[in-house]
Structure 1
Amino acid sequence: MLQELEATLRKFKLWQQNSIAIEQVTSPFGIGQIQFTEWLQFIYLPKMKSLVGAGVGIPKAEITPYAEEVLPSGEGREALLVCIKKLDNLSITAHV
């Protein structure tokens, strides 16, 4: 499912080629610092991939309500929300 989220970001041209200085992101979801899609790409996805790689799995999260608030309407919004909802519904022992 992490690959699905990444593929969806790429498909709708929300994937950035240039990295950001994530150590400067100090607020939850990068509020006021970066776009939510940047937070997904540079903070959420790497952290979840690291946890899965370590055999921990993806912890249960509730980011869908925030995503629904901040994702702009338009192409890709619903597809991203579907991916995020799937990830939110995984248990801590799930492996992607």
Structure 2
Amino acid sequence: MSRELEIRNRLQAIEQALHDAGLWQNCAPNAEAFESTEPFCVDTMMPIQWLQWVFLPRMQALLDAQSALPVKLAIAPYYEVALEGAIPGRANLLHMLNQLDQLFEHDA
């Protein structure tokens, strides 16, 4: 299996984990939320919103355009801190994010 296909599969697994936990949102944040210059849009979006509305679409767009992918990816550590312990599906989502991060560990 190609690396790109593995990445696509893991992105889909993250999306499915959000759906399964009831965390997937049907309405996007307001346009101003996307104009944040802060990492993870911490000043304008909740962590799950950034994952759904920024990260997943941008990674899919890079793959679709066959553009260069990030050399290093480490978003799981942020989510380990940012997600409250009682959030539905937290353990599964963190597992999926760690699996995605692992695909980028050997590229540096």
Shorter-chain TM-score tier: 0.7 to 0.9
1:39 paired to 2:50 = yes
TM-score, normalization by structure 1: 0.85
Opposite residue 40 of structure 2, the aligned amino acid is: F
Contact 2:36-2:43 within 8 A present in 1 as well:
no
Query: Would the alpha carbon gap of residues 57 and 79 (structure 1) be closer, same or farther in structure 2, given more than 3 Å must change?
Result: farther
1:18-70: CA deviations, max 9, x gaps?
01224333311111321100000000000000111122364231111111001
For structure 1, the residue ranges without an aligned partner over 5 or more in a row are: none
**Aligned twin of 2:95:** 82
Opposite residue 2 of structure 1, the aligned amino acid is: L
Contact 1:58-1:91 within 8 A present in 2 as well:
no
**How many residues end up aligned between the 2 structures?**
93
Report the structure number with the largest CA radius of gyration.
2
TM-score, normalization by structure 2: 0.76
Moved more, 20-29 or 4-13: 20-29
Larger helix fraction of residues: 2
For structure 2, the residue ranges without an aligned partner over 5 or more in a row are: 1-9
Identity score, percent: 35
The equivalent position to 2:16 in structure 1, one of 7, 26, 30, is: 7
